[in-house]
Structure 1
Amino acid sequence: MIRPLTVNNHAKLGVLVKKWSKDETSRPKSLDEFKTALADAGIDFDLDPGITSLSFRTHLPNELVIRLPPADMITEHEQRLQSQGYNLPDFYGAVTAEGAQPGASFEVKLDFDNARTGDYTIANCA
């Protein structure tokens, strides 16, 4: 299974995302350019070697986009929740939601994950 991109500084990545959104000409045109942009911004990252292409997707303000992750990634993530804690980036700080707590049951972690997935899907990145 291909692992998602991980970064050490989500805020710096957010600066790049906003730049790329506001100025289409500044967007990397290849995966190598993307890696260079992250490195140049001082972002340490881990990109699975199975990721071989890059694309940007935008939408109109009046368009609801439902971004669906690959089914096998959902299945693998849910299986991982059975034996591991819920993994949130450090910038979230202390999250009080029951499903994010160490020792939470699989059912509680799954409820939390379902809520996060639903929120992410309809937020349209803004």
Structure 2
Amino acid sequence: MTDVLNRFGIDDGYHAKFGQLIKDWARGIKQPPADLKAFKQQLEDEGIKANYPTGANELKTLNVFRADSSRLDIRLPPTDFLDDSESFIVKHGYVIPKFYHDAFDSEPNIDDVMVFHAARIGDYTLANCT
């Protein structure tokens, strides 16, 4: 989905490695990158393949912040990304990373893709990366 929508994304097969890198940053095992160039370098050093958007969606800066268990962070998606995602879902269905298929050894059964999309956005917003 990230290639079609021209957004940043981790390539299938590299989500676990990326997640472990995030855990290492959170635990202080590795230093989080200070800027986008350092982020790209860390991913390359870890052997993590990613898609970087071009054109109007090209990434220019990086914002790494530490969540606080006493603060509720609500991260709102950019409106244009939300609209593009919904248009894509209507045309192509809901595409999820391969690791979901691998974990459940089956194709997902999604009755209503827009309800599922809303649920995933809500879950992501409240999960606080855990």
Structure 1 and Structure 2 fold alike (TM over 0.5): yes
Structure 1 window deviating more from structure 2 (42-51 vs 1-10): it is 1-10
Aligned to 1:73: 81
Once superposed, which parts of structure 1, at least 4 consecutive aligned residues long, lie more than 6 Å away? none
> Are 1:45 and 2:50 counterparts?
yes
**Equivalent position to 1:98, from 94, 106, 110:** 110
Q: Deviations over 1:38-93 (max 9, x none)?
A: 11111111111311111102221121111111111101100111110211000111
Q: Identity rate of aligned residues, in percent?
A: 34
Letter of the 1:98 counterpart: I
> Which residue pairs with 1:86 in the alignment?
94
In structure 2, do the counterparts of structure 1 residues 24 and 60 end up closer, same or farther at CA, with 3 Å as the change threshold? farther
1:113 to 103, 117, 123: 117
Question: Which consecutive residues of structure 2, in runs of 5 or more, have no partner in the other structure?
Answer: none
SS class of match (1:26): coil
The code of the aligned residue for 2:85 comes to H
What TM-score do you get using the length of structure 1 for normalisation?
0.84
Amino acid at match of 1:115: A
CA-CA distance at 1:123 after TM superposition: 0.6
* Equivalence for 1:124: 128
TM (norm. structure 2) is 0.82
Candidates 43, 51, 61, aligned match of 2:69: 61
CA RMSD of aligned residues (A): 1.8
